[in-house]
Structure 1
Amino acid sequence: MTLADGGRITLNAAVVDIKADVTARGGSLTVDNYFKGGGDRGAAQLLLKSGGVDHFA
């Protein structure tokens, strides 16, 4: 996968399996199991492999 120059991808899941080459020239690729909704969309959540969710204040 090749992103446009300056492109950005953010993947949030308990398990992410990337089976491809990724090129992000001047951009970024973020893979994490921590999710925080923007603004007033809720508390931060830690996504667990078991399918559960831990909530943070």
Structure 2
Amino acid sequence: MSYRKRNGSDTWHFCRNCTNWPTSGYTERTSKPTSGELCDQCKAKKRNANCR
């Protein structure tokens, strides 16, 4: 799983179908971030088994 956050933001996204999934100007990592916040929309999509 990839985690992305926009440069200058503290919010990490992990669902590629999130409306806020960064496509440019971002930092990416493959392990769960230890700082910052996880996106509420991504968490909801994961709960509803709709995270891609």
Task: Flag whether TM exceeds 0.5 (same fold).
Answer: no
TM-score (ref. length: structure 1): 0.26
From the two aligned structures, give the one with the greater helix fraction.
2
TM-score (ref. length: structure 2): 0.26
Q: Higher RCO, 1 or 2 (CA under 8 Å, sep at least 6)? A: 2
From the two aligned structures, give the one with the greater strand fraction.
1
Q: Which has the larger radius of gyration?
A: 1
